[in-house]
Amino acid sequence: MPARTKNEYGYIDIDDNVIATIAGLSAMESYGIVGMASKNATDGFFELLKRENLSKGIKVHIDKDQILIDLHVILQYGIRISVVAENIIEKVKFNVENLTGLKVKKINVYVQGIRVEK
Query: Which domains are delineated in the chain?
Result: 3-115 (3.30.70.1350)
What is this structure's pTM?
Answer: 0.87
**One pLDDT digit (tens) per residue for the chain, 118 residues:** 678 777 889 988 889 999 999 999 999 999 999 989 986 655 667 778 887 788 888 999 988 778 999 999 999 999 999 999 999 999 999 999 999 989 999 999 999 989 887 6
d(CA 56, CA 16): 11
